[in-house]
Structure formats: C-alpha cells, structure tokens
Structure 1
Amino acid sequence: MIDARRGVLYPARMPEFHRIAPPDEAAELVEWFWIPEWDIEPGRSSRQHVVPYPALNLVVEPDGVELVGASTAASYRDLTGRGWAVGALLKPASVAALTDEPSALRDASCAFDAPELHRDVVHAMGEGGETARARACAVFADWLVARVGAPTAAARDANAMAALLMTDATIIRDEDAATRLSVSVRTMQRLALRYVGMSPAAMIRRRRLQEAAQRVREHPRTDLSTLAVELGYSDHSHLTNDFRAVLGFTPTSYRSASADPFTG
C-alpha cells in the first residue's frame, strides 16, 4: 500500500481533506479516492503544494471531469472561494480504458467526457458531510468498474510493477525491480509507459523524493547525509540536486519552511 502521508509538502496548509479506500470491487483499479473541500474567505487564496505520485488521476469537480496525467515535477494549485473535488488516484489497471497514450498526458491534463459520472458525483456531494463523501466514492467506484471491466493479465502485471516501485525502498534501479518481477527490463519499461506514461526509473526517483521530503518534514533532526544513503542516493549532494531539480529548493530550506508552514 502506498503511504498516504507522502506527496503533500505542507499538510498544515491543506483545507479539509479526506482519503477514502476504494470498495473491494474497485481495489485493483483505484489506490484511494481523495476529496478536498474548501471555503476560503473573499480576497484570499490557499496554495497547495504537492509532489504528485507517478500515476494518473481522474478528477470530478462541479464544472466537469478531468483526466490528469503523471507529473515529472512538483505542482501547486491556488484554491479560492468555496468548492470541492473528488479524485481517484488510479492504479495502472484503470488506465488503458481511459486513454490510449498516457505518456501524452505527462505533465498535462484533459477534459474527460463522462457525463454520468459527473452527474452522479455532483448529486452525491450535494448532500454534504461524511455520508456524501462515501456516496460519491461509491458511485465513482461503480462507474470505474463498469468502464474498465475485469483487468487483463498485463494490467495486473502493471499494478504489481507500480506497487513494487512505489513501496519498496530497496528498489533503486530498473534491474532490481525487473529481477523481483521476473521480467526483462524492457518488458517492465513497456508496462510503465503503457499504463503510467513514465519510465520505471522516473517512478523510482519520485518515490525516493517523496520519501525524502516526508522524512525531512516529519523528522526535522534527521541527518541529511544519512538520509541520502538510506534512500539510495549516492551522497548528500545527489539528494540536494534532486530536491532542487523537482521542487525548486533544497532539503535544508524545506526543513525550515516545514517548521513554519504558513510562511512563504
């Protein structure tokens, strides 16, 4: 199971936010559903910084449905006014039924034509509260199961690949994962591009960076050189360069910002 605490750089800045496990019938299709709800006073905004998981998301909002591709960099969204979203962090097995070319959505998104899904989720969220969130996830799961159908053997292989790359800290190279999965590196690369839109190496780098950010945030006294070695970086400089390239700042500056997350 992917660690649900990872990915959000400043949790204290988040609006009301819920992660909800999928029902059993959708467990091969969705890692979890996520629902933010916000009510920002007029004239103000709330900026949410994330290091996205290397996965696609299908997101329903009051004004439509969007398919969001895997991201190669950190991103943010400025929330204003009052609103909500119901998103599904998709497992690879869902992807082939939603797009023919997930790599074309890398660092991008597109409107997704799903009027029944939009109607049912909007109706469910209109009730408000915990019951509304549960109903919204239930109808979302039902729609996905009907749309995707039973996963193929290749789709299940892609799920196994993604789970290994995103949860096992001992996997630091493509070859490590391929050996564990008993497939060739080339086969694994084809699975990743077809079902995620990113290379296995990029997925491993994303997991390591998410883990590094989480450790720095939750354990501010962590020695960065030791952390770099534990996560498979060659040294402290390698960790710092990865932080700067993806997040735009160093682990040291992130540690300072995390101690006072409402600044900046």
Structure 2
Amino acid sequence: MASLVRWFWIPEWQIAPGRSSRQHLIAFPACNLVVEPDTVGLAGPSTRSSHRDLTGTGWAVGALLRPAAVPSFAEDPAAIRDRYQPMELTALHDRVSQAMNGSSDQATRHRLAVDAFADWLIETVPAPTRDALLANAMAELIDSDPDVLRVEDAAALLNVSARTLQRLARRYVGLPPLMMIRRRRLQEAAERLRTDPSMNLAAVAADLGYTDHAHLANEFRSVLGLTLSTYRQQVSPAAQSLE
C-alpha cells in the first residue's frame, strides 16, 4: 500500500438548508481517487487553484495516489489535468459507502472506510514495476528536497537522465517534472508565509531559487490565483483575529 497511496483524506460536512460553503483547493500535482455517496471520481493533476461549493450533508473518502498507482486508472494522466473524471468502480464504491454508513462513531467509520479502500486497491492494482517505483522516487524527491531546483538536479540524485524523468512524469504523473518542482516551491513559499507572515519576500524568493521577488510573485499569482500580499494578509495573525 505504501507504494500506491501517499495518504487518505476524509471530509464530512453538514450545511444548513439554503446555505453553501466554498472550499478553496490548492491540490498536490498528483491524482486523487475519490469515493463520494453517489459516485467515484478521479481528480487529475492540478495546475492551478480551484474551489468546490458544499451544500447539504455529505462526505468523501479520497486517496492521494502515488505515481505507481496512476496507470491503473488513467492511461494518459495529462489528459485529465485539472479535471474530475467519473469512474465506473462499483465494488470500490459499495465497500467504502458501507463503511461510511455503518457506524455512528466517526473514528470507527473512517478507519473502516480506509481499510476497505486500501484492501480494494491491493486487490486491484498490479504490483509496481521498476519504472513505477522510480516514478515514486522521483515524486518523493521533488516533494521533499528543497535543493532540487532543476530537472537536472533530480536526475543526478536518482542517477538517471533528464529525459528519463520526462518520460516517467508523462506516464505516471501527467505533468512535466519542472512543473512539479515549481509547484513544490510555491507550496513551500506559502508555508513560510503561513509560519511567519512578516518574512521578507525577497529572501523567500532567493532561498527557493527564484531570480527575484517579482518572479516569485508572478508565478504565485498565475498558479494560485492570489498575489503574495493578499495571501500574506489572509494568513497574518491580525487578519485571523478579525475572522
């Protein structure tokens, strides 16, 4: 299972009649397989922020897939970038739905739902190939090593060519490795601002390998849909105290 799923996630909600709750999403550049009360869907790798309006009562059980699992559900993951594609996976839906509807205790139903999801994946997805495991290693390296600023950096650490990484990313992720690196840098910039909203933006840009503050600001706005100053205002303690 560790080679197939990075983690499972389970939101539940109950919104008053006539109201809705808009959830802003900044997803990882990876695929999510999601079970909902009336469907199963595959969310492709994201290149931008998005949102979803929640109404009524509902739940979802999602698995953030590692690259090795992706070909079992998407022959060409690039074709579902920024899309949510319905999947005909009746057995998975039935097992997870039964778990989510079978107990009044939240911790119990979450545990049972994850167990059901994991068991189905183990039964359904073939054992990862050597290339699939290398794709996992590529994604893990890019996500975790702040010193990886170029595709060549990742290739050297994995002892493969940059062309090999391009091929693996196309087959198992659906995004070029450079886009994966850029997304990780943006996520790290956002995390630093959440930790310390007063942090010097020029210093953040330099640490993350951007040419200057303007480069970081332009990429932040184009991908996440927010300016750096707007995001910093939203996460600052002063702004939070007014909410």
Q: What's the TM-score once normalised by structure 1's chain length?
A: 0.87
* Structure 1 residues 258 and 44: alpha-carbon distance in aligned structure 2, compared to 1, 3 A threshold: farther
Show the counterpart of 1:254: 231
Picking from 14, 27, 32, the partner of 1:57 is 32
- Post-superposition offset of 1:261: 5.6
Greater CA deviation, 239-248 or 251-260? 251-260
Give the root-mean-square deviation of aligned CA atoms: 1.4
Show the counterpart of 1:72: 47
Show the counterpart of 1:21: none
State percent identity of aligned pairs. Answer: 54
Following the alignment from structure 1 to structure 2, what is the Cα–Cα distance between the partners of residues 257 and 96? 38
Q: Please state whether the residue corresponding to 1:216 is helix, strand or coil.
A: helix
Following the alignment from structure 1 to structure 2, what is the Cα–Cα distance between the partners of residues 41 and 256? 29
Following the alignment from structure 1 to structure 2, what is the Cα–Cα distance between the partners of residues 261 and 199? 36
Following the alignment from structure 2 to structure 1, what is the Cα–Cα distance between the partners of residues 131 and 177? 16
Larger radius of gyration: 2
Picking from 70, 82, 101, the partner of 1:95 is 70
Q: Please state whether the residue corresponding to 2:99 is helix, strand or coil.
A: helix
- Post-superposition offset of 1:50: 2.0
Picking from 118, 122, 138, the partner of 1:145 is 122
Show the counterpart of 1:12: none
Q: Please state whether the residue corresponding to 2:10 is helix, strand or coil.
A: strand
Q: What's the TM-score once normalised by structure 2's chain length?
A: 0.95
* Structure 1 residues 262 and 93: alpha-carbon distance in aligned structure 2, compared to 1, 3 A threshold: farther
* Structure 1 residues 120 and 93: alpha-carbon distance in aligned structure 2, compared to 1, 3 A threshold: same
Point out where structure 1 has 5 or more consecutive residues left out of the alignment. 1-25
Show the counterpart of 1:113: 88
Following the alignment from structure 1 to structure 2, what is the Cα–Cα distance between the partners of residues 197 and 224? 31
Point out where structure 2 has 5 or more consecutive residues left out of the alignment. none
- Post-superposition offset of 1:233: 1.2
Aligned residue pairs total: 239
CA deviation string 1:181-215 (max 9, x = no partner): 11111110000010000000000000011111111
CA deviation string 1:86-128 (max 9, x = no partner): 0000000101111211111111121111101000100100124
CA deviation string 1:160-191 (max 9, x = no partner): 00001111110010110011111111110000
Asked whether the equivalents of residues 257 and 263 of structure 1 are also in contact (C-alpha less than 8 Å), the reply is: no
- Post-superposition offset of 1:249: 2.0
Greater CA deviation, 156-165 or 72-81? 72-81
- Post-superposition offset of 1:149: 2.3
Q: Please state whether the residue corresponding to 2:184 is helix, strand or coil.
A: helix
Show the counterpart of 2:56: 81
Following the alignment from structure 2 to structure 1, what is the Cα–Cα distance between the partners of residues 171 and 241? 39
Show the counterpart of 2:222: 245
